[in-house]
Amino acid sequence: MNFLVDAHVFDGSYQGTRTYIKGLYTELIKLSPDTTFFFIAGDTDSLIEEFGTHSNAKFVSLKFGKILRLLVEIPFIIWKYKIDYAHFQYVVPPIKNCKQIVTIHDILFKDYPSYFPLQYRIINDFLFKISAKRADVIFTVSDYSKERISFHYKIPDQLIGVTKNGIVDPTYTKQDDIDIRIKYKLTRFILYVSRVEPRKNHQTLLRAYKELKLWESNYQLVFVGKRDFLFKTLDKEINNCPPECRSQVYHFDNVKDDELRAFYKQADLFVYPSIAEGFGIPPIEALSFGLPTLCSNATAMSNFTFLGTDLFDSTNVEELKKKILHKLIHVDPERQLSLKQFVINQYSWKKSAECFLIHLNEEKNRTNYQKY
């Protein structure tokens, strides 16, 4: 079987869909040696660096931008290499000349429209809905997203497979050679990893940090993530901080994998106050490094019931303040080790790849049944 993977996201900055494709297909290459995977992107050297060389992995260069890529280039590649299945993120091409797979990670703009620009909502709602209706196989990354896609797009939930985001094995990584505290002149720090946009709720964490005056105890607040939307609320909140507080708030953009893992490993506390997520992988990553973690209990994060009292209401700054103080003072190494082992076992890309193959085989069986 020939399998095409649209990997054009590897041509841009680091993001969740890139992590998803790399994690999932690193395992699928090993689990399906009789399948040839054709990865397509503008920078094939980057793909080879990410996936390595394998006898059943081929890398095909893309030449055109988004519109021509979807309309002309991808259908031609599918025809040229006799592709059986093609896997896309969110949007499938309008020309269908093989079986199509789509992963729709979330449709948060349907339930939380105030956090997304109007044009974004209109265009993506149309494209995502059409793609979900036309695709032969649909995946998403959480039970929460599955339920919302089924509800809004009227798709039977048994037709939607769940391939949860996984984590990389944290036991050995290059971050052992990076001392984040020395490099960025940090002492002790609270970490939040996320794109900067309204629903990510950075301002609530900043308010908690400011009102607790944690800089007086030599704690710094570190935001890691790219700005995706024009978002002035956080800047306004930072500017309203007293100078001694403002000087201890750091923001790092476009951090590479090795350095990001160093942040996870060397932080004192991870806080994830997001209001809406299709999955919410950073708190899982933080836990996999044994980092004490507080997480919002909203949307997909409500599935993280194993966190127990470490979940909090992302709109309640007073609750967050109490939990931050408690977590900084009362560290339970045994609990952190238990949580670390749990997430490493539960959120593995191998498990997600196995779920992918099971759901794909179910689609094949349905197709064969319909033929007769």
pLDDT tens string 164-193 = 999 876 665 555 668 999 999 999 999 999
pLDDT > 70? residue 372: no
CA–CA distance, 86 with 4 (Å, rounded to integer): 4
> Where do the DSSP E strands lie in the chain?
2-6, 36-41, 57-61, 85-89, 99-103, 137-140, 160-162, 188-193, 219-224, 249-252, 269-272, 293-296, 311-312
- What's the mean pLDDT in 279-291? 94
Supply the pLDDT for residue 82.
97
Correct CATH for 2-166+348-371 of 3.40.50.2000, 3.30.56.10, 3.40.50.300, 3.50.50.60: 3.40.50.2000
The CATH 3.40.50.2000 domain(s) of the chain lie at: 2-166+348-371, 174-346
- What's the mean pLDDT in 271-281? 96
Which superfamily is assigned to 174-346 in CATH?
A: Glycogen Phosphorylase B; (3.40.50.2000)
pLDDT tens string 57-79 = 999 999 998 899 999 999 999 99
Are 88 and 6 in contact by the 8 Å Cβ rule? The answer is yes
Supply the pLDDT for residue 172.
53
pLDDT > 50? residue 371: no
CA–CA distance, 47 with 105 (Å, rounded to integer): 22
- Name the percent of the chain lying above pLDDT 70: 94
- To the nearest whole number, what is the mean pLDDT of the chain? 92
- What's the mean pLDDT in 313-330? 96
Return the top range by mean pLDDT from 65-74, 195-204, 292-301: 292-301
pTM, full prediction: 0.89
pLDDT > 80? residue 229: no
Please provide the distance, in angstroms rounded to a whole number, between the alpha carbons at the two ends of the chain.
22
Supply the pLDDT for residue 218.
95
Supply the pLDDT for residue 178.
85
Helix or strand or coil: residue 276? Answer: coil
pLDDT > 80? residue 268: yes
Sign, Cα dihedral of 200, 206, 209, 215: positive
Are 290 and 267 in contact by the 8 Å Cβ rule? The answer is no
pLDDT > 90? residue 270: yes
Supply the pLDDT for residue 331.
84
CA–CA distance, 250 with 266 (Å, rounded to integer): 15
- Return the ∠ at Cα 336 (arms to 334 and 338), rounded to 5°: 70
Given the structure tokens 């506390």, which residue do they identify?
A: 269
Residues with Cβ < 8 Å from 3, sequence gap 6 or more?
32, 35, 36, 37, 38, 83, 84, 85, 86, 87
